[in-house]
């Protein structure tokens, strides 16, 4: 018996008290797609999901809202394994969630992380480095006012500082960053304040430990997921004393 998509998603978010009853009603094959994900480093950006049929892609893991219905054969860059047989995939300039049951996972033609098509379009006929950096900032600006959520990875549902930076760089430039601000500070190449350019990362510390990161937006401003009260906002780049500035774009 095939479990329909709505029941499948309701099952995921059903309260603990009903889990035993529902699990008994769901055959083991309902999660068969999760076997495709085993031992794959999907966060490296080297895989694509090819829809095997018309398939719904959802706004978030705990939402009934459909972001897009994929046509059979349509391809999506996989951004990460979301758990439970679900994948985080790139949909236009955002992120959606697709069941591995509905897609064939394939290695991308190039094993290297690629810039998004939108970024490549911005670069046509101009300075590649400067255009990409401007695109990163423009991409980040669309999320101004989005909610802050500790541990959050998606501006549509809430992000913390490092989750926001990771989301923007991965989706705007194909750069895969570590999850925490401290780990991100160890990536890329350190630059001085007079060398920094839009798209560089600015790190701040509390005591001896790095605890905050934002993206330099140019004109003396940093864009960052700040607090629960303000969400994603712009601030003067030195509103706190930066302890490290990093170029993760390699230019």
Catalytic residues: 161, 212, 224
CA–CA distance, 88 with 2 (Å, rounded to integer):
23
Name the residue with tokens 């951004």.
Answer: 79
Helix axes 161-173, 128-141, angle to 10 degrees: 130
Contact partners, residue 176, CB within 8 Å, separation at least 6:
43, 44, 45, 113, 169, 170
Phi-psi bin for 125: left (phi > 0), alpha (psi -120 to 50), beta?
left
Report the sign of the C-alpha dihedral through residues 37, 115, 141, 183, in that order: positive
What are the Cα distances from residue 113, in Å, to 21, 86, 107, 166? Answer: 43, 21, 12, 14
Distance (Å) of CA 56 to CA 4, 68, 75, 80, 168: 11, 6, 13, 17, 24
Which backbone phi and psi does 180 adopt, to 5 degrees?
-95, 155
Query: Which of the 8 DSSP states describes residue 148?
Result: B
> What is d(CA 223, CA 159) in angstroms, rounded to the nearest whole number?
13
The answer to whether residues 122 and 133 touch, using CB atoms and an 8 Å cutoff, is: no
Chain Cα centroid distance, residue 27? 31
Beta strand 221-227 with 209-218 is antiparallel
């Amino acid at each position: 018996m095939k479990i329909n998509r709505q029941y499948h998603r309701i099952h995921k978010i059903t309260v603990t008290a009903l889990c035993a009853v529902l699990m008994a009603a769901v055959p083991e094959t309902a999660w068969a797609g999760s076997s495709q994900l085993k031992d794959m480093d999907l966060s490296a950006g080297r895989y694509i999901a090819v829809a095997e049929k018309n398939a719904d892609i959802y706004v978030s893991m705990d939402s009934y809202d459909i972001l897009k219905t994929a046509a059979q054969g349509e391809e999506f860059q996989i951004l990460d394994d979301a758990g439970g047989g679900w994948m985080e995939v790139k949909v236009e300039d955002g992120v959606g969630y697709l069941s591995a049951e509905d897609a064939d996972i394939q290695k991308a033609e190039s094993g290297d992380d690629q810039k998004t098509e939108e970024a490549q379009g911005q670069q046509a006929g101009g300075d590649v480095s400067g255009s990409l950096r401007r695109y990163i900032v423009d991409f980040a600006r669309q999320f101004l006012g989005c909610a802050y959520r500790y541990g959050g990875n998606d501006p549509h549902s809430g992000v913390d500082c490092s989750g926001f930076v990771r989301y923007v760089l991965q989706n705007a430039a194909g750069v895969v960053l570590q999850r925490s601000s401290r780990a991100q500070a160890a990536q890329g190449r350190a630059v001085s304040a007079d060398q920094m350019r839009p798209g560089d990362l600015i790190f701040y510390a509390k005591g001896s430990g790095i605890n905050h990161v934002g993206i330099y937006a140019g004109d003396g401003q940093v864009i960052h997921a700040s607090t629960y009260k303000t969400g994603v906002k712009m601030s003067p780049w030195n509103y706190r004393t930066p302890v490290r500035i990093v170029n993760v774009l390699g230019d």
